[in-house]
Amino acid sequence: MSTLPVVVTARNASGLTTIANAVINVTDTTQRGLITAFNPAPNNWGNPEAMVIDGQQFFVETAGKAWSLTKLDDYTIRFELRPGDVWNEDETSRSEILTVRNADDNSVFKCSYNFTLEPGTVNSLDWLTCTQMHEDGGIPFSISLLNDQMNVLTDQAEDWGTQPYVDPNPIVRGRTYAMKIEARFANDATGYLKMWRDGAQIVNYTGRLGSETNGQYIKFGIYAGYPSRVTSPIAIRYDHIALDFQDPPPPPPPPPLPPGINQVGVTTIGPTADDGNIGEILGQQVVLSTAATLQSLSFYLGTAAGNIRLGLYRDSNGLPGTKVAEASSAAAVAGWNTRPVTASLTAGTYWLVFELSSNAARGRLINSGTAIYATQAYGTLPATFPAGTIVNNISFSFYMTVNV
C-alpha cells in the first residue's frame, strides 16, 4: 500500500491560518468494479448482459422508477427506495441487483465494495437489508441496517443461524465504508464467513454456512419488505464492486462406455417440476466418453401438453454451438418422450436440447449439471444455438441413447 500526503489549511477572516496534514492510502494499482453495461430496467431475466459490473452479469429487481437505480460514474451505482416503491414481481419494496452467477457450494467466494448510506432520516425499521447472499433454500448471510447500525446475520432463517456482528454505533451517513467479504458455503465445520470494514475485521465466523441447495448469489441494494414499512427515502451508493467466484474443480472424466446400448444424461426422474418454458429453447450439458451412434433422445414430462421437439448440439467453449441432430416435433406425452434420431458422434461434450409448445407441460429437474435457456419460438431448432443464460446446478430428466 502506498500513501499520498494531504495538506489542508483553514484560514479565518483575520488572516490567520492553520495547517494540518493527513495521508491517503492507496491499496493497489488495479481498479475493480468497472461498469461495462448499465440498463436499470428491472426484470431483465432474458438479458442480464444489460447490467455488467466487474465482468459479472446482474439481474435487476426495482420499482423501475427514475431514481431506483442510477449510475453515478464508471464505478458507482446508486440505489434509492422511496415510499410507495414496489417491485412488481412480488409487491415488496426493494431496489436491488443480484448476480447471475452462483458461488458454488464448498467453494470460496470473495467480494469487496465501497458502501455509502446517504444522509437522510435514520432508519428505524426492524430490518433493512443492504447486502444478501442468497440461495434457493435460504440466506447464508446478510448485512442489514437497524437504526442505522450495521448487523451481520448468518443463515437467519435457520436454527443454526448466528448474529456474528452488531455495530454498537450507527454508521455515519455520507461516509464511505470499504467492505470486504470472504465466505465458504458448506454444511459442516469447513464453512466460514469473514468480513472486514475499513480494514478492520468485524466477522470471523466458522461453521455451517448455507444449506447447500443450489449455490449462492449475492444481492446489493435496498430491501425493506412490505411497502408500508418505507416512510422516508433511503439511498445507498455502491462503488468498486469486485467479485471473485472460485471455479469448481473439473469433474473427473466419465469412464468409457461399454459396447452396446448406453444411455447418457439424466435417466432418473427429478424431484422438482418445471413449467412455463414456452418461447424458449433449453439445453443441458452431457459428456460422451466414447465415439458412438446416436439412436434416440428421451425427455421426461410429469404433465404433458402441446408438442415437444428434441435435439442435440455440439459444445463450443462451454456453450451449445452447432446442431448435430434433431428429432421431428411430436405430441407430448406424460412420462418419457423418446424420439428416434440418428447421428455419428465423436467423444466429447454435447448439449441435449428441447422446446415445448405449451407452458402447461412440466419437465422434471435435478440439482446438478449445467443448463442453458434462450429465447426461441417453437419450431425447427436453429442451426446454431442462440445466445442464452447459463444456469448451474440444474438438469432435466433428459438423456440420449447411443450405440457404441
Partner 1 sequence: MSSLAVTGTVTNESGLSSPFTGIINVVDPPVVSSVSISPDPAVAGTLRTITIAATDPQGQSLTYTCKVNGVDATPVAGQPGVFTFTA
Q: Give the interface with partner 1 as residue ranges (CB under 8 A).
A: 1, 4-14, 16-22, 24-32, 73, 75-76, 114, 116, 175-178, 198-199, 239-240
Minimum CB–partner distance for residue 132 and partner 1 (Å): 22
SS3 230: coil
Minimum CB–partner distance for residue 126 and partner 1 (Å): 28
Minimum CB–partner distance for residue 240 and partner 1 (Å): 6
Minimum CB–partner distance for residue 236 and partner 1 (Å): 14
Minimum CB–partner distance for residue 168 and partner 1 (Å): 20
Give 14's contacts (C-beta < 8 A, 6+ positions apart).
none
Nearer to partner 1, 76 or 156 (CB): 76
Nearer to partner 1, 16 or 189 (CB): 16
Minimum CB–partner distance for residue 46 and partner 1 (Å): 33
Nearer to partner 1, 6 or 331 (CB): 6
Give 202's contacts (C-beta < 8 A, 6+ positions apart).
150, 152, 165, 167, 195, 196
Give the chain's end-to-end CA distance (angstroms, integer). Answer: 60
Minimum CB–partner distance for residue 23 and partner 1 (Å): 8
Task: Provide the strand spans (E) within 127-233.
Answer: 129-135, 138-146, 149-154, 162-170, 176-184, 192-197, 200-206, 216-225
Nearer to partner 1, 67 or 196 (CB): 196
Q: Within 10 Å of residue 342's Cβ, how many Cβ atoms? A: 12
CA distance 239 to 230: 24
Minimum CB–partner distance for residue 348 and partner 1 (Å): 42
Cell numbers found for residue 323? 446442431
Distances (CA, A) of 305 to 120, 208, 337, 362: 54, 42, 12, 8
Cell numbers found for residue 151? 448487523
Nearer to partner 1, 188 or 198 (CB): 198
Nearer to partner 1, 243 or 400 (CB): 243
Nearer to partner 1, 116 or 214 (CB): 116
Minimum CB–partner distance for residue 169 and partner 1 (Å): 16
With the CA atoms of 301, 305, 307 and 313 taken in that order, what torsion angle do they form, in degrees rounded to the nearest 10?
A: -30
Nearer to partner 1, 1 or 189 (CB): 1
CA distance 297 to 352: 8
Q: What are phi and psi of 26, to 5 degrees?
A: -110, 115
**Pairing mode, if any, of strands 129-135 and 216-225?**
antiparallel
Nearer to partner 1, 17 or 317 (CB): 17
Minimum CB–partner distance for residue 242 and partner 1 (Å): 9
CA distance 293 to 216: 38
112 close to 31: Cβ distance less than 8 angstroms: no
Give the sheet arrangement for strand 76-81, strand by strand: 69-73, 76-81, 234-245, 108-117, 176-184, 192-197, 200-206
Nearer to partner 1, 21 or 317 (CB): 21
